[in-house]
Amino acid sequence: MIKVIDNLLDNTDFKKLSDFILSKEFPWFFLEDKVHKGDGHFQICHNFFLSGIPQSRFIKILDPFITKLNIGKVIRIKANITFKKEKNIETGMHTDVKLKNNEKFKTAVYYCNNNNGSTLFENGKRIYSKENRAVIFDGDQLHCGVDCTDVSRRVVINFNYIEKKKCMIGLIFGDSDFPNHILKTIKQRKIKYTIIDLSKSKKFKNDKKSHSVALGQFGKIIDILKNNNCKKVLFAGKVNKPNFTKFKLDFKGIYYISRIIKASKLGDAAILKEIIKILAQNKIKTENSLKFNPELILKKGNYSKIKANNQDKLDIKKAIKTLNSLKQYDFSQGVIVRNNKVVSIEGKGGTKIMLKKSISRKLRNHGVIVKFPKKKQDLRIDLPTIGLKTLKQCKDAGLKGIVLKSKQHVFLDKNKCIKFANKNRMFILVKWKKFLY
């Protein structure tokens, strides 16, 4: 594949480069052959890099090319000048370098000035020299330079390099609908991704980029992420606390298991924090789970026609006070209060079980559920998640309202939830932390 990019550098960088490299101050060195020894085609050159080693004190002028050409590893960079000829002379077909083990690399020819010289390829394709133009092709593709006849010199910079691998985002997914929203956005934005599927049902098994892995297989997880150049990961969905007696461990899992077991004694939040630390030690950064879906966050305000009355406010105050009294690593993110009495606190079974335990046959449309992050929780992961299913379960339990902390939650199916709340005379309240009751 031959790719041509005109105006590769912005005007400022191009002028700075061309003014210097075409000036009398820039040093050039004579070579009596061009492609093969004794070929009779002399040129002058300036080596910036040979075999990946800097040869010049002027390599800083090449900085703009690093990102423009997506250079990961430099093999050789060399500037060449050939002089005006009576006719357009073609030098021999060649490749610039050959790597051990036939490793793939790219060659780029950058044209510093306008002239009627060119780069000719074995297939007959010809790219003419035009200032600030680059032609990029596979390093094993035969090509040759063609001298100019219209100006005093033809100036090019040849780049031989291994491309930098484009980073992917690692998606560590558990159960719930939240991962589906993230994946949909990722695909729409054409972002490269790799999935680590930790869900019970292996719900992403049909995605070609998904890897089904057990939580204890840290070596496999880290290898998958590194092999796919995932320097960043994102957690979404519920991952159940593992049964350590049935834990599938690989070698790294054995190495880390004592840390995970120790963290598990403090609660789910501590396990996740420990996993983030392990990833960080392997130079993998954890991103906020809402990085690609900020539309799933609600700001402070009342999102329904119904508002909390004085009794509701007392219930909310009681619920918040109860959540604040829980231990730092407790797994509880929710409390249900009815008539100023704590009815249920979220346990290992999650919100669904808590709501089932709170069903009242006598009192309908009374009481609130407050869903806040755990105390001192890492807000990049495991935020309280609310959706239409949650609203329906709240109605079945006879609750009147749901309360969230501003920008510290995941709110799915927003429009459907608001419509459902209005129809069933329920309120959805999002509070800012400085104005909690």
pLDDT, residue 152, reads: 95
pLDDT, residue 259, reads: 84
Provide the pLDDT confidence category of residue 242 given band limits of 50, 70 and 90.
low
| Phi then psi dihedrals of residue 357, to 5 deg | -70, -15
Contacts of 371 (CB under 8 A, 6+ apart): 333, 334, 351, 384, 386, 402, 403, 404, 409
- Tokens found for residue 53: 């080693």
pLDDT, residue 63, reads: 94
At 265-304, the pLDDT tens digits run: 776 667 778 888 989 999 999 999 999 999 999 999 999 9
Lowest mean pLDDT: which of 25-34, 256-265, 325-334, 357-366? 325-334
pLDDT, residue 201, reads: 85
Quote the CA–CA distance of 372 and 351 in Å, as a whole number.
12
In the predicted model, what is the mean pLDDT of residues 181-189?
93
pLDDT, residue 146, reads: 94
Quote the CA–CA distance of 249 and 219 in Å, as a whole number.
9
Q: Which of 236-250, 269-283, 390-404 shows the highest mean pLDDT? A: 390-404
Go through the domains of the chain in sequence order and give each one's CATH number. 2-163 (2.60.120.620), 168-287 (3.40.50.20), 297-435 (3.40.140.80)
pLDDT, residue 434, reads: 45
pLDDT, residue 265, reads: 74
Q: Counting beta carbons within 10 angstroms of the beta carbon of residue 435, is it exposed (0 to 12), middle (13 to 18) or buried (19 or more)?
A: exposed
pLDDT, residue 329, reads: 45
CB atoms within 10 A of CB 32: 11
Q: Within 13 Å, how many C-alpha atoms sit on residue 133's CB side?
A: 16
Quote the CA–CA distance of 84 and 43 in Å, as a whole number.
11
Lowest mean pLDDT: which of 179-183, 351-355, 359-363? 359-363
In the predicted model, what is the mean pLDDT of residues 66-89?
94
pLDDT, residue 98, reads: 85
pLDDT, residue 361, reads: 75
In the predicted model, what is the mean pLDDT of residues 180-202?
91
Quote the CA–CA distance of 278 and 256 in Å, as a whole number.
8
pLDDT, residue 267, reads: 66
Instruction: Measure CA of the first residue to CA of the last residue in the chain; give whole Å.
Output: 64
pLDDT, residue 410, reads: 93
In the predicted model, what is the mean pLDDT of residues 83-92?
91
Quote the CA–CA distance of 381 and 409 in Å, as a whole number.
10
- Tokens found for residue 263: 């963290």
Answer with the residue of higher pLDDT: 40 or 149. 149
pLDDT, residue 435, reads: 43
Lowest mean pLDDT: which of 24-28, 337-341, 357-361? 357-361
In the predicted model, what is the mean pLDDT of residues 367-372?
94
Q: Residue 166 pLDDT more than 90?
A: no
CB atoms within 10 A of CB 264: 16
Provide the pLDDT confidence category of residue 437 given band limits of 50, 70 and 90.
very low
Q: How far is CA 186 from the centre of its chain?
A: 10
- Tokens found for residue 77: 């960079």
Output the average pLDDT for the chain.
89
Sign of CA dihedral 23, 27, 30, 34: negative
Provide the pLDDT confidence category of residue 214 given band limits of 50, 70 and 90.
confident
Place of tokens 């009794």: 311
**Residue 186: beta bridge partners?**
none
Answer with the residue of higher pLDDT: 215 or 7. 7
Task: Tell me the longest C-alpha to C-alpha distance in the chain.
Answer: 102
Provide the pLDDT confidence category of residue 374 given band limits of 50, 70 and 90.
confident
In the predicted model, what is the mean pLDDT of residues 52-56?
94
